[in-house]
Amino acid sequence: MSTSPADHGAPPTGDVGAGPTAYPDEPAPLQRTSATFLGMPSFQTAAKAALADTQQRRNLAHATATIRGKRAAVVAEVEAWEELRVAGAAAKDEVLHHLPHYLEQLEENLTARGATVHWARDAEEANRIVVGLVQERDADEVVKVKSMATQEIELNEALEAAGIHAWETDLAELIVQLGHDRPSHILVPAIHRNRAEIREIFLREMGEVGRPAPEDLSDEPARLAEAARLHLREKFLRAKVAVSGANFAVADTGTLVVVESEGNGRMCLTLPETLISVVGVEKVLPTFADLGTMLQLLPRSSTGERMNPYTSMWTGVHAGDGPQDVHVVLVDNGRSHVLADPVGRDALRCIRCSACLNVCPVYERAGGHAYGSVYPGPIGAVLNPQLRGTGSDVDKSLPYASSLCGACFEACPVRIDIPALLVHLRTQVVDEASGRSVEALGMKAAAWTFADHRRLEAAQRAATVGGRLLGDRTIRTVPGLGAWAQARDVPTPPKETFRQWWRRTHGDGAGTDGTGTDGTGTDGRTA
Amino acid sequence: MTSQGPTVAIFATCFNDTMWPEAPRATVTLLERLGCTVVFPREQTCCGQMFTNTGYADEAVPLVRKFVDVFERYEHVVAPSGSCVGSVRDQHAMLARRSGDGGLVTAVEELTPRVLELSEFVVDVLGRTDVGAYFPHRVTYHPTCHSLRMLHVGDRPLRLLREVRGIDLVDLPNATECCGFGGTFAVKNADTSIAMGSDKARHVRETGAEVLVAGDNSCLSHIGGILGRQRSGVRTLHLAQILASTEEDPA
Q: What would the mean pLDDT of A148-172 be, rounded to a whole number?
A: 96
Any domain includes A230 = yes
Residue B145's pLDDT is what?
97
Strand partners, A45: none
User: pLDDT of A111-120, one tens digit each?
Assistant: 999 999 999 9
A328 and A442 both lie in a single domain: no
CB B20 within 8 A of CB B245: no
Please give the DSSP secondary-structure letter assigned to residue B16.
H
Where in chain B is CATH 3.40.50?
Answer: 138-244
Strand partners, A249: A256, A284
Which of B59, B125, B194 to mutate: most A Cβ within 10 Å? B59
A325 and A453 both lie in a single domain: no
- The domain tally of chain A equals 2
Residues A135-164: b if buried by 16+ CB within 10 A, e if exposed: eebebbbbbbbbbbbbbbbbbbbbbbbbbb
Any domain includes A495 = yes
Which residue is closest to A420 within chain B, CA to CA? B91
| Nearest CB to A498 within list B17, B146, B186 | B17
CB A265 within 8 A of CB A272: no
Residue A44: which CATH number?
3.40.50.10420
Residue A508's pLDDT is what?
72
Which of B94, B192, B220, B222 to mutate: most A Cβ within 10 Å? B192
A vs B: CB pairs below 8 A: 235
Please give the DSSP secondary-structure letter assigned to residue A192.
T
Q: Are A526 and B39 a contacting pair at CB < 8 A? A: no
Structural domain span for residue A27:
5-335
The CA-atom distances, in angstroms, between A328 and each of A287, B57, B172 are 18, 42, 51
A138 sits in the region (left: phi over 0; alpha: psi -120 to 50; else beta) called left
Torsion angle in degrees (nearest 10) through CA of A395, A399, A402, A405: 150
Q: Residues A376, A382, A385, A390: is their CA dihedral positive or negative?
A: positive
- What's the gap in Å between the CA of A357 and the closest CA on chain B? 14
Query: SS3 string of A278-333?
Result: EEEHHHEECCCCHHHHHHHHHHHHHCCCCCCCEEEEECCCECCECCCEEEEEEECC
CB B196 within 8 A of CB A365: yes
Confidence of residue A522 (pLDDT cuts 50, 70, 90): very low
Residue A102's pLDDT is what?
98
Please give the DSSP secondary-structure letter assigned to residue B137.
S
Any domain includes A289 = yes
Which residue is closest to B16 within chain A, CA to CA? A498
Q: Across all residues in chain A, what is the average pLDDT? A: 89
User: pLDDT of B56-110, one tens digit each?
Assistant: 999 999 999 999 999 999 999 999 999 999 999 999 999 999 999 999 999 999 9
Torsion angle in degrees (nearest 10) through CA of A97, A101, A106, A107: 130
Residue type, position B167, single letter: I
Nearest 5 degrees, angle CA A291-CA A294-CA A295? 80
Q: Residues B77, B78, B79, B85: is their CA dihedral positive or negative?
A: positive
Residue A266's pLDDT is what?
97
Show residues of chain B in contact with A366, CB under 8 Å.
192
Question: Exposed, middle or buried, A242 (CB in 10 Å: 0-12/13-18/19+)?
Answer: buried
Residue A478's pLDDT is what?
75
Residue A462's pLDDT is what?
85
Half-sphere exposure of A337 (CA within 13 A, CB side): 14
Check whether B237 has a pLDDT greater than 60: yes
Give the SS3 label for residue A260.
strand
| Nearest CB to A494 within list B21, B42, B198 | B21
Based on its alpha-carbon atoms, the radius of gyration of chain B, rounded to whole angstroms, reads 18
The CA-atom distances, in angstroms, between A521 and each of A503, B15, B36 are 20, 30, 16
Q: B138-244: which CATH architecture?
A: 3-Layer(aba) Sandwich (3.40)
Residue A483's pLDDT is what?
86
Which residue is closest to B73 within chain A, CA to CA? A525
Strand partners, B169: B139
Where in chain B is CATH 1.20.1050?
Answer: 7-125
What would the CATH number be for the domain defined by B7-125? 1.20.1050
User: pLDDT of A468-494, one tens digit each?
Assistant: 877 776 777 777 788 888 889 988 889
Residue A251's pLDDT is what?
98
Q: What would the mean pLDDT of A355-372 be, rounded to a whole number?
A: 97
Pairing of strands A255-260, A248-250: antiparallel
ipTM confidence score:
0.96
Any domain includes A361 = no
Q: Residues B105, B110, B116, B120: is their CA dihedral positive or negative?
A: positive
CA distance A192 to A376: 13
| Nearest CB to A51 within list B148, B150, B192 | B192
User: pLDDT of A411-429, one tens digit each?
Assistant: 999 999 999 999 999 999 9
Any domain includes A389 = no
Residue A514's pLDDT is what?
39
Residue type, position A193, single letter: R
Any domain includes A32 = yes
